[in-house]
A and B are shown apart, each in its own frame.
Chain A
Amino acid sequence: MAVFLTKESKVLVQGMTGAEGMRHTRRMLAAGTDVVGGVNPRKAGRTVRFDVPQTPAGLGTAHRFVPVFGSVREGVEATGADVSVVFVPPAFARAAVEEAADAGTGLVVVITEGIPVHDAVAFRAHAAERGTRVVGPNCPGLITPGQSNAGIIPADIAGPGPIGLVSKSGTLTYQLMHELRDIGFSTCVGIGGDPVVGTSHIDCLAAFQDDPDTELVVLIGEIGGDAEERAAAFVRDHVTKPVVGYVAGFTAPKGRTMGHAGAIVSGSSGTARAKKEALEAAGIPVGGTPTETARLVRTRLGNPARPA
């Protein structure tokens, strides 16, 4: 079991034939993802060859041939795909997500960075009406180590294990996976740092709570909005598994956007301190650094400290 993404997931890649799409499709294939097709109306009918390094490393290369479809619907009809990963440029992202939702894919992972908020608002509502889950935009996607990888999270950081992870930040996802690589993860979900995202901390917490393979959840937040405060309340009321938190942005000045479009302390809200306090009030220990957060996870899981 895993959350949202398993080895059974059949993945289409919208924008597969672009530079980013090619590079990451190869990486997804290498991670074991069942990539069943790409989508590009101008290249429909072609097949793209990927030279995929085999695991364990050094044991040669396999050739994988992935068909390109003219639309998501064609891809879904031909392959039974249920996941789409979107790599198309910002100007076309809204249409791409809505197309995937209309074609009935249950999960759309939007890697594209720099999508206008009005477009995110529109495709979020569109997908919700059709029962499609959107992860992102501006996110690294999600990985169920050893099973499937939909997005750009490096699959070799950590293997399978009992920790579920949900994070607004891609690199903090990688950092925590690295810190806890000896224990491993059920699923890691990068939900993205934009003001409007399709899947929230709460959605992931609820899914991890129901996932028998997840023993503990790491929740990574950052300044901006009140998603962490809401997640804290949800944990208090609905989550019985241990949760460990981390929040970035204590030193962020008010009114300045810190890299992520959604990472801004506006007025009196969105501060790291308020988020940390809310999490702690809900009984969630919050690490002062990623390393300390990893230590809290080890304590909670009863694992000894990782040998140096």
Chain B
Amino acid sequence: MDLYEHQARELLAEHGIVVPPADVTDSPREARAIARRLGGPAVVKAQVRTGGRGKAGGVRFAADPAEAELMTRRILGTDIKGHPVRTVLLAQPVDIDAEFYVAYVLDRTRGQFLAVLSTEGGTDIEEVAATRPEAVTRFPVDPTEGVTPATAAGIVRTAGLPARAADVLVRLWQVLIREDALLVEVNPLALTAQGRLTALDAKITLDDNARFRQARWGERDAPHDDPLEASAAARGLTYVKLDGEVGVIGNGAGLVMSTLDVIAGCGARPANFLDIGGGASARVMSDGLSVVLSDPDVKAVLVNVFGGITACDAVAEGIVTALDTVRPTKPIVVRLDGNNAARGHTVLDDRAHPLVHRATTMDDAARRAAHLANTT
């Protein structure tokens, strides 16, 4: 789960990292009051969970409270890379002497985290890394030791940041560990004219798998931008909305991804990714089918299941349930193989629904679904 900037700032502040005074709002009128409280001028920043919002017009400087209200009015409701702007953050402007980049990122190959630092903060770090690799320093962090004040001091010295940045590095490590984050990034970490290190912007990605031990996460959950995704999430389904016309349901992330690719290879476009997971019940299947069928973009549905733990008869029963409850008007192509496939086929035979088409292989199923979507 990617946090909004204002949520990330709060986490940093809780762990003792300095952030400029700021507040968040969804109301232009309140924005004016916030700017007044901050002393007059303010930076107005769209709160969206995507990068590059500055270039997209999502960050504006307001010289006074009236302008803050105007800027807020302009930014709210706009769309930044597909993300609707629902709130803005108003932050007190800071006089900056220098800008740095400090982050912890996961190194999947080593199976541990890296501290990444640069004296060229405030810019696109991927570009800096590509054009001037020597300006970015990376340190693997020993998972058992973590980042102590001594290791932080060494890292900061090597990377050429001011010595006091070591404290920020230690605190940021605590954010990573205690909050079960997969990424913490402060960019820029600014050295102010007053000589303080202040986090001007932050990006934090929390590990969804750690939800069971992070009681406060519920309050950080962001609303889904897509109503179908919200509906699927409410039913506990792993669903991603895409922009095609063939609805896809399968079991296992790899097989579903593969099915999307095979659909694309047949000259159609997948409308979604939906993984009913391992050992899915008839209920999960029927819920999944009702979500996919409720997508107005979907013209045909492909159900591709290779039963390992998942029993194909349960999948077939879920399909039959959905036929009776959702009353679909779109064709559904079904391919069942593996665990209890024969029984699954019998369940579908018994129902003999005219919209249900059967296929014997994954490729055949995809071809038929693509054809049906392109001709209906």
Contact = CB atoms under 8 A, between A and B. Distances in A.
A267 interface: yes
Closest 4 CB pairs of A and B: A169-B254, A259-B253, A171-B252, A171-B255
Given A174-B306, A251-B242, A121 B255 contact: no
Interface residues of B, number: 53
A225 B110 CA distance: 11
Interface string A49-66: 000000000000000000
19 contacts: A116-B213, A117-B182, A118-B180, A121-B112, A124-B111, A152-B308, A154-B339, A170-B252, A175-B362, A195-B108, A196-B111, A227-B109, A251-B257, A253-B240, A259-B252, A259-B257, A259-B275, A263-B253, A291-B361
Contacts of A7: none
Interface string A142-178: 0000000000111001000000000111111011001
A196 B108 contact: yes
B111 A121 contact: yes
B256 interface: yes
B50 interface: yes
Contacts of B182: 117, 195
Nearest to B210: A116
Given A125-B143, A172-B252, A248-B258, 10 more contacts: A115-B209, A120-B111, A122-B144, A167-B254, A172-B258, A197-B111, A198-B111, A250-B264, A289-B262, A289-B265
Contacts of B262: 289
Interface string B31-59: 00000000000000000001000000000
Contacts of A251: 242, 257, 260-261, 263-264, 269-270
Nearest to B240: A256
Contact of B254 (A153, A230, A248, A289): A248
A239 interface: no
Contacts of B109: 200, 225-227, 230
B93 interface: no
Given A120-B111, A252-B257, A262-B108, A171 B339 contact: no
Contact of B306 (A175, A193, A197, A291): A175
A170 to B, nearest CB: 5
B177 interface: yes
Nearest to A259: B253
Given A171-B252, A195-B182, A259-B273, A125 B260 contact: no
Contact of A90 (B209, B240, B361, B363): B209
Interface residues of A, number: 65
Interface in A192-225: 193, 195-198, 200, 220, 222-225
Contact of A170 (B208, B278, B363): B278
A43 to B, nearest CB: 23
B108 A248 contact: no
Interface string A252-295: 11011111111100011000100000000000000011110000
B225 to A, nearest CB: 11
User: Interface majority SS on B: helix, strand, loop or mixed?
Assistant: mixed
User: Interface majority SS on A: helix, strand, loop or mixed?
Assistant: loop
A260 B28 CA distance: 40
Contacts of B278: 113, 152, 170
Contact of A116 (B144, B180, B307): B180
Contacts of A289: 258, 261-262, 265, 362-363
Contact of A222 (B50, B257, B361): B257
A291 B257 contact: no
Contacts of A261: 208-209
B26 to A, nearest CB: 24
A58 B23 CA distance: 70
Contacts of A174: 252, 255, 306, 308, 338
A296 to B, nearest CB: 14
A226 B182 CA distance: 17
Interface string A13-57: 000000000000000000000000000000000000000000000
A136 interface: no
Contacts of B252: 169-172, 174, 259
A114 interface: yes
A118 B337 CA distance: 36
